[in-house]
Amino acid sequence: MHMADALLAPAVAATMYVASGTVAGISIHKLKKDDEPQKLPVMAVTAALVFAGQMINYTIPGTGSSGHMCGGMLLSALLGPQAGFLSMIVILAIQCLFFADGGLMALGANVWNMAFYGCFVGYYLIWRPIMNSQWFGEGKSGARIRIVVASLIGCVVTLQLGAFSVVLETSLSGITELPFSSFVALMQPIHLAIGLVEGLITSAVLLFIYESRPELLQDVEPVKGEGSQRSLKTVVAILAIVALVVGGGLSLLASSNPDGLEWALFGNAEEGYAENMGLDEEAYGIESTAAETAGAIQEAISFLPDYAFANNDTAVGTTVSGIVGSAMVAGVAVLICLAGGFFRKKKSEV
């Protein structure tokens, strides 16, 4: 989900920087008002832990594949949305600076896609309402189920929003020719599955903390007594099955939808192909797709004399000089390298 610099136009990157910067400013203001200087080291250590924790592989039973946990939800459940947001910014910055995961210019967009949704939407619209409600009964078992439900829904929803934003930002940047609808249909189901797994892992970690140190979690009242007895395992199993059914259904729906990927990919491709064919046959009499290149070579050899190479007015002329110029630039680059090596050798000899 980390976007690289190349996927964004400067205007989009700047807009996302402004948006994320504004939220960061508000968060910093709120933290300053709370004035808890001891929170800074806690934020730093937790952020570092989440950073490292995202590298752990969790085996998903029965599939042989592995998942990771969802940082935004975990951090906002532990630190609150503002501190969680700032910690996520720092994690994303380190990932981008030292591991090339995401780009320097794309940082604003990445913060928005992963930190903003995960921390603010995940906390204010999902975590807090669910945790403050009386759903699933009172007492400890009720709270446990609420934690699982909140992390599952939180991860799925925030990841869906994030994936949608990635599509939106890339499309607005005019980078991809992939139609918007099919790009969405490609990204959303993948992230639905990821979100479900991340939600389960995150809920497992949060449950463990709830069992041992409930006071560390936001909006969780430490309760004594077990309340209504319902095995957590059964609930998790039921939830997982429901989630799988819903997820599978949605994915099926997305991919069988006539507006979806299949239609867009093949429908449009065919259209484009037909157009190309028409144009080519009229103008040059040869076919141009990669598959037909082999045949085209044979034909093209006889057409070669027609080729206006010396004609400088045509687009071909400028492009050819572009290629030759590029080759010269490459030559200069090689020279720079050679010169560098030469001077360094000289230096070491002295």
Partner 1 sequence: MQKAMHELAEMDELAMRSSPIHELHPLAKLITTIIYILITLSYDKYNLSGLVPMLLWPILLFTISGIEVRICFYKLRIVLPLVMAVGLFNPFFDRAIMLRIGPLAVSGGVFSMLTLMIKGLYCLMASFLLMATTPIDSLCAALRQLHVPKILVTLLLLTYRYVGVMTEELAVMTDAYLLRAPGQKGIHISAWGSFLGQLLLRSMDRAQELYAAMLLRGYNQQFHYAEARPFRIRDALYLLGCILFFLLLRTVKVAQLLGGMLVR
Q: Which residues from 168-227 bind partner 1, rule CB under 8 A?
A: 170, 174-179, 200-201, 204-209, 212-213, 216
For the chain, strand residue ranges (E) read: 58-59, 66-67
Report phi then psi at 66, rounded to 5. Answer: -130, 155
Q: Does residue 333 interact with partner 1 by CB under 8 A?
A: yes
CB of 309 to partner 1, least distance (A): 9
278 binding partner 1? (CB under 8 A): no
Binding mask 1-40 for partner 1 (x = CB under 8 A): -xxxxxxxxx--x----------xx--x--xx----xx-x
Q: Per rule CB under 8 A, is residue 288 in the interface with partner 1?
A: yes
8-state DSSP, 38: T
Nearer to partner 1, 125 or 216 (CB): 216
Contact between 186 and 240 under an 8 Å Cβ cutoff? The reply is no
Per-residue x/- track, 133-162, partner 1 (CB under 8 A): ------------------------------
Return the number of the residue (44 or 246) whose C-beta is nearest partner 1.
44
Q: Does 305 bind partner 1 (CB under 8 A)?
A: no
Question: Closer to partner 1 at the Cβ: 129 or 321?
Answer: 321
Interaction residues for partner 1, span 229-268 (CB under 8 A): 265, 268
Residue 95 φ/ψ region, left for φ over 0, alpha for ψ in the -120 to 50 degree band, beta for the rest: alpha
108 vs 122 by CB, closer to partner 1:
108
Of the residues 16, 20, 23, 46, which one makes contact with partner 1 according to CB under 8 A? 46
Of positions 18, 26, 34, 104, contacts partner 1 by CB under 8 A: 104
345 near partner 1, rule: CB under 8 A: no
- Write the DSSP assignment of 213-254 as a string of letters: -GGGSTT-----S--S---HHHHHHHHHHHHHHHHHHHHHHH
Task: Indicate which single residue of 19, 48, 125, 232 sits in contact with partner 1 (rule: CB under 8 A).
Answer: 48
Selected from 222, 249, 278, 340, the binder of partner 1 by CB under 8 A is: 340
**Angle subtended at Cα 153 by Cα 147 and Cα 156, rounded to the nearest 5 degrees:** 135
Residue 28 tokens, joined: 């910093």
Residues between 61 and 100 with contacts to partner 1, criterion CB under 8 A: 61, 64, 66, 69, 78, 86-87, 89-91, 93-94, 96-100
> Residue type for 133, please?
S
Backbone angles phi, psi at 59, to 5 degrees: -75, 135
Q: Which of 48, 184, 163 is nearest to 109 (CA)?
A: 163
Cβ proximity of 117 and 161 under 8 Å = yes
DSSP string, 156-182: HHHHHHHHHHHHHHHHHTT---S-HHH
